[in-house]
Structure 1
Amino acid sequence: MKYLCVYCGSQKGTNPRYVELTRNLGESLARRGITLVYGGGAIGLMGTLAESVLSAGGQVIGVIPRFLDEKEIAKADCTELIVVETMAQRKGVMSERADGFLALPGGYGTLDELFESLTEAQLNIHAKPIGLWNAFGFFDPLLSWIDKAESEGFLKTKYGLRPLNKRPLLQVDSDLERLLDALTRNR
Structure 2
Amino acid sequence: MKIGVFCSANNNIDPDFFRLADELATWMGNNGHTLVWGGCNLGLMQQLGKSIKAAKGRCIGIVPQIIEKGGRAFQDIDIYIPCDSLSDRKDLLLAHSDVIIALPGGIGTLDEIFTVAAAHTIGYHNKKIILLNAKGFWDSLITMLDDLQSKGVIRGLWRDYILVANSVDEAVSAYLSTDMWEN
| Residues 40/112 of structure 1: CA separation in 2 closer, same or farther (3 Å cut) | same
SS at structure 2 position matched to 1:22: helix
- RMSD over aligned CA atoms reads 1.4
Q: In structure 2, how many angstroms separate the alpha carbons of the residues matched to 1:43 and 1:133?
A: 19
Q: In structure 1, how many angstroms separate the alpha carbons of the residues matched to 2:36 and 2:102?
A: 12
SS at structure 2 position matched to 1:51: helix
CA contact (8 A) 1:37 1:97 kept: yes
1:150, CA displacement in angstroms? 0.8
Percent identical among aligned pairs is: 30
Does structure 1 residue 132 correspond to structure 2 residue 131?
yes
Read off the aligned partner of 1:11 and give its amino acid letter.
N
| Residues 134/13 of structure 1: CA separation in 2 closer, same or farther (3 Å cut) | farther
SS at structure 2 position matched to 1:52: helix
Does structure 1 residue 91 correspond to structure 2 residue 90?
yes
Partner of 1:81: 80
Q: In structure 2, how many angstroms separate the alpha carbons of the residues matched to 1:140 and 1:97?
A: 28
More displaced stretch, 35-44 vs 174-183: 174-183
Does structure 1 residue 173 correspond to structure 2 residue 165?
yes
SS at structure 2 position matched to 1:41: coil
| Aligned pairs for 1:93-132 within 5 A | 93-132=92-131
Ranges in structure 2 where 5+ consecutive residues have no aligned partner: none
Partner of 1:164: none
Q: TM-score, normalised by structure 2?
A: 0.92
Q: TM-score, normalised by structure 1?
A: 0.91
| Residues 78/71 of structure 1: CA separation in 2 closer, same or farther (3 Å cut) | same
Partner of 1:4: 3
Partner of 2:145: 146
After the TM superposition, list the runs of 4 or more consecutive aligned residues in structure 1 that deviate by more than 4 angstroms.
none
1:184, CA displacement in angstroms? 4.3
1:13, CA displacement in angstroms? 4.1
